[in-house]
Amino acid sequence: MTSNPENNSSVEIRPIGSLQSCISKPDGSAVFTQGDTSVMAAVYGPGDVKPNKALMDKATVTVTYKPKIGISGVREKALERMIRNTCETVLLTTLFPRSSVDIIVQEIQDAGALLACSINAACLAMINAGIPMKCTVAASCCMMGKDEELIMDPTKEQTKDAECVLTSAIDSSAHSLIASSMQGSCSVEQYHKLMSVCQKACDKVFEFYREAMERTLSKP
Amino acid sequence: MAASMDDFEPRVVLPGDSLMGHIPGELHGKMTLGPGLRQDETKIFSTKAGILKRKNPHTFWIDCHQKRYVPAKGDKVLGVVTQKAGDVFRVDIGGQSQAILSYLAFEGATKRNRPNVQVGDVVYAKLLVANRDMEPELVCIDSSGRSQGLGVVGSDGFMFRCTLGLVRRLLLKDCPMLKFLGEKISYEIAIGMNGRIWVRAKSIHTTIAVVTALTNCEFMSEDDMKKMLRKLVAAGFHDSRPKPN
């Protein structure tokens, strides 16, 4: 690993920004931006659940993904699934049996790394709502170009000539992998390279969460 | 021990932070954990983002700006009666499920003498049962059968919703807001731990003024509160009754 030159260089991701409690009705909400990519997430819960969806031992987590234009199709369903499974892993769902946690993710602008941005927005909204969580989660995107160069947090333009694009979500306590989604193909060594870069980028997101919370909580 | 107590500083924590480093070593294994903290084997983790606080000698909790109420035993809450179902009323208290309130749980109520409670009434009640596996249950009496201020609150007041942080702030022992307001304006107030506040003053105008003052004071310092109240009084929202001799 240490022989990898990419590991030694600092990981550059596009500037991150956030806005919390941006909508008044939900229990928690946040806008998360990474470069030009921007996603808004809202969280309701723990709340009432339909009897046929209630689980006896834990809360039911549902994610609704709203595309910028048009109605949601298969692509959106796949994103929903990814976000839902990632969020459920970090939530302490067993504390609220027979209840629901609803997460709504609204795409505002897609300029690459949309899934990573959506997961980060959902996590920040859950932190904002104060739902008990095991730990926080951050996701980041990394791509490998034609001549094996790694590009961190690529834009939509850059991903057009990518050999493979990896999005991975990592938890804050053990820094272990929660979810990973890959388009394209690469060798095992290349995968490890991509993973280690993603991990560093996720650390930056964790730092950002802390800064963002310190800012909002220091308000008096 | 005294030295380590002074070391503690309220600080911002995020979900999943281990708190073993911030808690004096001699307290490990013998402290009381409040909201937002979780014990996993011997380690203590936070489960919410907020400010870690401590009440001496060994009580710790996390203060966070939350909107959703999670019922807790002994809390006094404001709820809206949504349904009359046989022997019980169903009351919406803002939690994940509706609470039940027996018609016998009112002062002076008997099987023959039912309390006059209608759907849509606002009740101020105390949580008798609140745990994750059971329906929350409310009562409007204490253990000796007295109402102690609990029961249906008048329909001429106004109930509004706010964050749980504001409620906790208003109920702090040294919160000056209610006292300042009371010096200038006479009003009645019921504060529910579920983020609902009911206010009644002499006129609708004054009630609205009190509600505005309370909603605005969440992020105010003591001086700002005084300033705001001075403005309120200057605008004519005060009692014109003669001072008692």
Percent of chain A having pLDDT more than 90? 88
- Distance, in Å, from the CA atom of B91 to the CA atom of B97, rounded to the nearest integer, reads 9
Q: Name which of B18, B133, B219 is nearest A220 (Cβ-Cβ).
A: B219
Instruction: Pick B140 or B233 by higher pLDDT.
Output: B140
From the list B227, B194, B198, B220, the residue with the least C-alpha distance to B211 is B198
Interface confidence, given as ipTM, is 0.87
| pLDDT beyond 60 at B26 | yes
| Residue A5, domain member (yes or no) | no
Substitution target in B12, B52, B93 with the highest count of A β-carbons within 10 Å is B12
Res A84: pLDDT: 97
Pairing of strands B32-33, B59-63: parallel
Instruction: Pick B17 or B41 by higher pLDDT.
Output: B17
Chain A partners of B51 at a C-beta cutoff of 8 Å? 217
Are A34 and A113 within 8 A, CB to CB? Answer: yes
Chain B partners of A102 at a C-beta cutoff of 8 Å? none
Looking at the whole model, is its pTM more than 0.80? yes
Domain ranges of chain B: 11-63, 75-152, 158-235
Helix axes B222-234, B204-216, angle to 10 degrees: 160
CA dihedral A204, A210, A215, A216 (to 10 degrees): 120
* Least Cα separation, residue A212 to chain B (angstroms): 11
Contact of A46 with chain B, judged by CB distance below 8 Å, is answered with: yes
The residue-averaged pLDDT of B75-99 equals 94
| pLDDT beyond 90 at A92 | yes
| pLDDT beyond 70 at A3 | no
The region of weakest confidence among A40-44, A61-65, B84-88 is B84-88
The residue-averaged pLDDT of A24-44 equals 96
The region of weakest confidence among A39-48, A56-65, B52-61, B66-75 is B52-61
Res B2: pLDDT: 40
Q: What is the pLDDT of residues B91-124, one digit of tens each?
A: 999 999 999 999 999 999 999 999 999 999 999 9
Q: Name which of A28, A46, A132 is nearest B96 (Cβ-Cβ).
A: A46
- Distance, in Å, from the CA atom of B36 to the CA atom of B34, rounded to the nearest integer, reads 6
Contact A47 B16 (CB under 8 A): no
Say how many C-beta atoms besides its own lie within 10 A of residue A29's C-beta.
25
Q: What is the pLDDT of residues B190-200, one digit of tens each?
A: 999 999 999 99
Res B201: pLDDT: 92
The region of weakest confidence among A144-148, B122-126, B180-184 is B180-184
Interface of B with A (CB under 8 A): 12, 14-16, 18, 36, 38, 45, 47-51, 64-68, 70, 96-97, 132-133, 219-221
From the list A14, A210, A11, A176, the residue with the least C-alpha distance to A86 is A176
Q: Model confidence at B6, in pLDDT bands (50, 70, 90)?
A: low
| Residue A74, domain member (yes or no) | yes
Q: Model confidence at B239, in pLDDT bands (50, 70, 90)?
A: low
Q: How far is CA A216 from CA A19, A24, B49, B219, in A?
A: 9, 16, 10, 11
Chain B partners of A130 at a C-beta cutoff of 8 Å? 48-50, 64-68
| pLDDT beyond 70 at A9 | no
Question: B158-235 in CATH: which number?
Answer: 3.30.1370.10
Q: What is the CATH classification number for the domain harbouring A124?
A: 3.30.230.70
Res A114: pLDDT: 96
| Residue A6, domain member (yes or no) | no
CA A3 vs. chain centroid, Å, equals 30
Q: What is the pLDDT of residues A57-90, one digit of tens each?
A: 999 999 999 999 999 999 999 999 999 999 999 9
Residue-wise DSSP of B146-170:
--TT-EEPPTTSEEEE--HHHHHHH
| Residue A170, domain member (yes or no) | yes
The reply to whether domains B75-152 and B158-235 share a CATH topology is no
Domain of A32, in residue numbers: 16-215
**Number of independent structural domains in chain A:** 1
| Residue A197, domain member (yes or no) | yes
Chain B partners of A135 at a C-beta cutoff of 8 Å? 15-16, 45
- Distance, in Å, from the CA atom of A170 to the CA atom of A126, rounded to the nearest integer, reads 16
Contact of A51 with chain B, judged by CB distance below 8 Å, is answered with: no
| Residue A194, domain member (yes or no) | yes
Q: Domain B11-63, CATH 2.40.50.100 — does that match?
A: yes
Q: Model confidence at B177, in pLDDT bands (50, 70, 90)?
A: confident
Q: How many residues does chain A have?
A: 220
Res B183: pLDDT: 86
Res A171: pLDDT: 95
| pLDDT beyond 90 at A161 | no
| pLDDT beyond 60 at B244 | no
Res A220: pLDDT: 55
Q: In terms of CATH architecture, what is B75-152?
A: Beta Barrel (2.40)
| Residue A141, domain member (yes or no) | yes
Res B218: pLDDT: 80
Contact B66 A27 (CB under 8 A): yes
Res B240: pLDDT: 58
- Distance, in Å, from the CA atom of B37 to the CA atom of A43, rounded to the nearest integer, reads 21
| pLDDT beyond 70 at A6 | no
Q: What is the pLDDT of residues B39-64, one digit of tens each?
A: 888 889 999 999 998 887 788 999 88
Q: How far is CA A57 from CA A54, A61, A94, in A?
A: 9, 13, 6
The residue-averaged pLDDT of A96-112 equals 95
Substitution target in A131, A170, A176 with the highest count of B β-carbons within 10 Å is A131
User: What angle is formed at CA B133 by the lines to CA B129 and CA B139, rounded to 5 degrees?
Assistant: 15
